[in-house]
Amino acid sequence: MFRKSLVAVVAATTLALTACGGGSDSGGGSDAGGASDGTITMGFAQVGAESGWRTANTKSVQEAAEAAGVDLKFSDAQQKQENQIKAIRSYIQQQVDVIAFSPVVESGWDTVLKEAKDAEIPVILTDRAVDSADTSLYKTFLGSDFIEEGKKAGDWLVEDSASTEGPVNIVELQGTTGAAPAIDRKEGFETAIAADPDLKIVQSQTGDFTRSGGKQVMEAFLKNTPDIDVVYAHNDDMGLGAIEAIEAAGKVPGKDIKIITVDAVKDGMTALADGKINFIVECNPLLGEQLMDLAAKVVAGEEVPARVVTEETTFTPEQAKEVLASREY
């Protein structure tokens, strides 16, 4: 709690300095940005509302903007890249002070990011990354290390399967096709399970990070894949959908078929505490305060780190039982 209030104070102080034209004006004569009263206007182009994680992320951004006195213009792209591009163009038209967004997929952003750069509007990537070769198109990327998340999931399975004889058949529920977390969580997991040749991914398909997507794909896997031992779902919501399909097929999730997911949102942690999920890798959605702090610095023309990695951990069922009541999301 202390960290949160400290960050909020820093953000508010920075904003106040910007408002009064204070801070270390290098005398470069360039306006530090912000309205005449110092209020920063941020255009935020959110991916959508596809998962519990996304809902928590949106809440964090909106609450942090309120606390930092940032005028937030917010859009929900319903997981469509063309909608995010339209929103970014509209923020450029409105001449906001800073643009932040979570790119639904990695590719296809250079043109619109060049338009923002030409309009001298700084861009902050939050949550997901872009694959643009030109890193001058954005000021910083604030978000998790998804490869590391996939590795943590795979490392747990290698350890959990150490005493298992014979093949361990894994089915994978991938996130949105082309999204950084889907690409990287797959890579990290495959790298980790290479340590044990008995661990095999026998089916892999996108469930688009949604509960319904996870359920539909898992139903198909159960029909066409005998002997599934493990589900690796790129987020809790698809894992929860898989649980519904597994139970409808008369099997016991967490026992007949082990489940590993990523996020650690409340519903996922509840299933973990109940033993229906076996291991969760946390992906922290509470990026709002760090985003507002970075935005204040960027608008004030201050240097910021090119990459800010969020802190996160992992949970077993026992650990979930201990922390469930105090979870923020």
Binding site for ligand GZL (CB under 6 A): 50-51, 53-54, 127-128, 143-144, 181, 209, 235, 237, 262-263, 283
Nearer to ligand GZL, 199 or 265 (CB): 265
Which CB sits closer to ligand GZL, 53 or 279? 53
Shortest Cβ distance from residue 289 to ligand GZL (Å)?
A: 16
CA–CA distance, 173 with 46 (Å, rounded to integer)? 23
Structural contact between residues 230 and 171, judged by C-beta atoms closer than 8 angstroms? yes
Q: Is 192 exposed, middle or buried (0-12, 13-18, 19+ CB in 10 A)?
A: buried
Cβ at position 304, least distance to ligand GZL in Å: 20
Q: How far is the CB of 104 from ligand GZL (least distance, A)?
A: 9
288 Cβ contact partners less than 8 Å away, ≥ 6 residues apart: 57, 59, 60, 61, 62, 63, 64, 65
**Which is nearer to ligand GZL, 287 or 300 (by Cβ)?**
287
Give the count of beta carbons closer than 10 Å to the beta carbon of residue 227: 9
- Of 193, 172, 187, nearest to 235 by C-alpha is 172
Closest CB to ligand GZL among residues 144, 206: 144
What DSSP letter does each residue of 46-104 carry, written as one string?
E--S-SHHHHHHHHHHHHHHHHHT-EEEEEE-TT-HHHHHHHHHHHHHTT-SEEEE--S
Whether the CA torsion 51, 56, 57, 61 is positive or negative: it is positive
State in angstroms the smallest separation of the CB of 218 from ligand GZL.
16
Closest approach of ligand GZL to the CB of residue 48, in Å: 8
| Structure tokens given for 84 | 């995010």
Please state, in angstroms and rounded to a whole number, the distance separating the CA atoms of residues 102 and 80. 12
Task: Give least dist CB 269 to ligand GZL, A.
Answer: 13
By beta-carbon proximity to ligand GZL, the closer residue of 39 and 81 is: 81
C-alpha to C-alpha distance for 267 and 277, rounded to whole angstroms: 11
* Separation between Cα atoms, residue 156 and residue 223, nearest integer Å: 27
- 87-108: buried (b, 16+ CB within 10 Å) or exposed (e) per residue? bbbebbeeebbbbbbbbbbbeb
Nearer to ligand GZL, 50 or 229 (CB): 50
In the complex with ligand GZL, which residue's Cβ is closer, 14 or 53? 53
Q: Which residue number, 187 or 302, has a Cβ lying nearer to ligand GZL? A: 187
The least distance separating ligand GZL from the CB of residue 49, rounded to whole angstroms, comes to 9
Per DSSP, the three-state class of 223 is: helix
- Nearest approach in angstroms of CB 211 to ligand GZL is 10
